[in-house]
Structure 1
Amino acid sequence: MKIIIALVVVIAAALLAPSPIDSLAYQPSQPLALDGAFTANDALQVTQLTQLPNSSRGGEDVAVDALGCIYTGVENGDVLRKCPHVDWEVLANTGGRPLGLAFDAQQNLIIADGVKGLLQLTPAKKLTVLADSFQGQPLLVVDDVDIAADGTMYFSDASALFPLKDYILDGLNAQPSGRLFSYAPDSGELKLLADQLFFANGVAVAADQSFVLVNETFAYRTTRVWLSGDKAGQKDIFTSHLPGVPDGIAADTDGTFWMALYAPRSALVDKIHPLPFVKNQLAKLPKSLAPIPPAYGFVVQLDKDGKVLQSLHDQAAVAIGEITSVQPEKDGLYLGTLHGPAIGKLAF
């Protein structure tokens, strides 16, 4: 009897304890079926892996410079470079979590750091902050960056409510606060292009410079913001109902886009989204109890209008899973991961 009373007390205390979120009811889109262009395959199982140094993990994004050296940022804040026939070297430590990477015309490495903001690392290894606040409020989760032909930097701030360490709470909360910004390096002007995004993630400027895309991770869709033409300044949906969780996205020179889907969608997560009370209670649980989706490798190619052309899978993550970025280069697709000890390359 005492045990039952103790359990009742514990459960009551848990229910009465304040939740870190005040979630909204949200009805997710119906996912597209895994058929047609989404038909499962194992094309990614031939991915070539390059191990990260010194037990580093989480090469979230990959960038390649004009000399063919590859760069990534890892969980401990290190920014790493590996040139052909040379071992990895540490270029800098941001003191945060480097996520998205892109090179400008001067071969400065622009870093979207999920803790420190939008950063610049020069070829001389000088690290500076370009933007870490907007209208007096900190940018909480600068997630990805892409650079237009005119040098304008477009970057996402995934959430204005929760820091990077609490990204799961942002998903449960279902109150979209992500934003897309532009940054002019010559003037330092920071502009808000879109807000109320469901965890603004990967960013890509179209090859013809007419629009910029931003992935909304927790809405399973991609938003397009027009940069030129009659629709300049307007936004619309580029693609939606994705059967996976969109993370990074990158433009290819042929006008298409490559998107990384971190994992297939969870039917359980979709079922609890309309239930705020349940989500508020789940948010109280330790992070260690959060469900971990099975590792799965998943990337898709889309045309300039958002139509899926093909998908590449590694269903059992034999070679690579938890893919967070896909960067097309002349010699193949470079793949980053959230926690993996290596980065990948699918050679053409």
Structure 2
Amino acid sequence: MRDSDSERRNRTRSSWPFTPFFFFAVVLPVALAALAYQLEPFEPVGLPVQLSRSKVAVPARNEKVRRDVEVVGEGQLAGPEDLVYDAAARVIYTGCEDGWIKRITVNDSVVEDWVNTGGRPLGLVLCQNGDLIVADADKGLLRVTSEKEIELLVDEYEGIKFKITDGVDVAEDGTIYFTDASHKYCVKDSVFDILEGKPNGRFLSYNPTAKKTTLLAQDLYFPNGVAVSPDQHFVVFCESSLARCNKYYIHGSKKGTVDKFCDLPGMPDNIHYDGQGQYWIAMFTAITPELELAFRYPFIRKVMAIVTKYVWNLHIVKDGGVLAVDLEGKPTAHYHDPKLSLTSGIKIGKHLYMGSIFYSFVSRLDTEKYPALSSV
């Protein structure tokens, strides 16, 4: 005997999963997520270039750096972001998230509290007279004398405050080149600048004699580390969000223009010249499949921003390291690791010292004992 239409409808309804558990476990969270997405004012945009996982050809690699490093100052350094070496005093300066600029002795790895800026010191560079120039994310561009006197040089341009004073270097003529990674977001919200995908950054110079600030380039995508070329012909600066390094010409027929300096296997941070023909570019992450997808589709970055803002901090960095490139921008060696995330790297003798905002120590690698080997 056939079932009646009423019986079939009742049987169908009873198979639907609209139980209280299904409502609270599935329907309600999805509805709230959709509502949050619609109400959230954060609106990412498309990037002018697409990030790619294509490997940059590097003739030599060490792909297991974390396995071979020594830990320096563990527990005494809160997020040592950048590193700079004072060869005369045999000490490394580094800026930490608690405002301290600390010194680490190279010989015996003793950590000393040197001076506290009251902000968040990021990029560092030593002047010929011994002064330390500090790109402090919160305070602006600072000068710290050897007597630990702190002087604010500049913290705004044409009325727009620096929100993340970031990378810095000094030319032989005393001109200070630096970046304001974002004039919209502060350092604690820097991830939102990258997720937003808008060019909120600036590259500037400061003449300490004339006390004049000059805007060199704007509409940049989280401009980061800065390094003046040894011939003083151009300045290299990194754009983290686009995973690239540029060069700004300060002399010659191309003065005032910007060209590409080098391709990168990841998102760059600080860059330092070692005085021996090599730039060392730190990368806090490689271009992972997740990042490649997110940077291709703004709606994914909006979801990531909502999760970061209201639920928990996403940490999807992977395979960071330090890339060495020559004066032409050609990669020569890549030191990296799947579980590494770095924001600076400097070469002192046979050792590579590496800092990171994610760690409570500085890493040291003996490059003679653990070299980058030919990848051919």
TM-score (norm 2): 0.83
Q: Closer, same or farther in 2 for the Cα pair 1:312/1:236, shift >3 Å?
A: same
Aligned residues: 342
Please give the residue correspondences for 1:47-86 in structure 2 after superposition, counting only pairs within 5 Å: 47-52=69-74, 54=76, 56-65=77-86, 66-83=88-105, 84-85=107-108
Aligned to 2:123: 100
Aligned to 1:341: 360
* Contact 1:198-1:217 within 8 A present in 2 as well: yes
Aligned to 1:311: 334
Residue type of the partner of 2:299? F
**Secondary structure at 1:181 match in 2:** strand
Q: CA deviation at 1:44?
A: 6.2
* Contact 1:27-1:273 within 8 A present in 2 as well: no
Aligned to 2:5: none
* Contact 2:72-2:109 within 8 A present in 1 as well: no
* Contact 1:184-1:190 within 8 A present in 2 as well: yes
Larger radius of gyration: 2
Structure 1 unaligned blocks of 5 or more: none
Q: Distance in 2 between matches of 1:126 and 1:52?
A: 28
1:138 corresponds to 2:165: no
For the aligned residue pairs, the C-alpha RMSD in angstroms reads 2.3
Aligned to 1:332: 351
Residue type of the partner of 2:79? G
Please give the residue correspondences for 1:1-348 in structure 2 after superposition, counting only pairs within 5 Å: 1=18, 3=23, 6-7=28-29, 9-24=31-46, 27-33=49-55, 36-37=58-59, 39=61, 41-42=63-64, 45-52=67-74, 54=76, 56-65=77-86, 66-83=88-105, 84-85=107-108, 87-240=110-263, 242-287=264-309, 289-293=312-316, 296-313=319-336, 315-317=337-339, 321-330=340-349, 332-347=351-366
Q: CA deviation at 1:330?
A: 4.0
Q: CA deviation at 1:80?
A: 0.9
Q: CA deviation at 1:40?
A: 5.4
Deviations along 1:50-103, whole A, 9 cap, x unmatched?
11554x321111122221122111111111123355842222222211111111
* Percent of aligned positions that are identical: 31
Q: Distance in 1 between matches of 2:34 and 2:74?
A: 47
Q: Distance in 2 between matches of 1:205 and 1:64?
A: 16
* Contact 1:111-1:121 within 8 A present in 2 as well: yes
Q: CA deviation at 1:42?
A: 2.9
* Contact 2:137-2:163 within 8 A present in 1 as well: yes
Structure 2 unaligned blocks of 5 or more: 1-17, 368-376
The farther-off stretch of 97-106 and 76-85 is: 76-85
Q: Distance in 2 between matches of 1:26 and 1:231?
A: 24
Deviations along 1:8-55, whole A, 9 cap, x unmatched?
54234213312334433554143332654365533564433311554x
Q: Distance in 2 between matches of 1:268 and 1:144?
A: 27
**Secondary structure at 2:271 match in 1:** strand
* Contact 1:44-1:297 within 8 A present in 2 as well: no
Q: Closer, same or farther in 2 for the Cα pair 1:281/1:140, shift >3 Å?
A: same
**Secondary structure at 1:286 match in 2:** helix
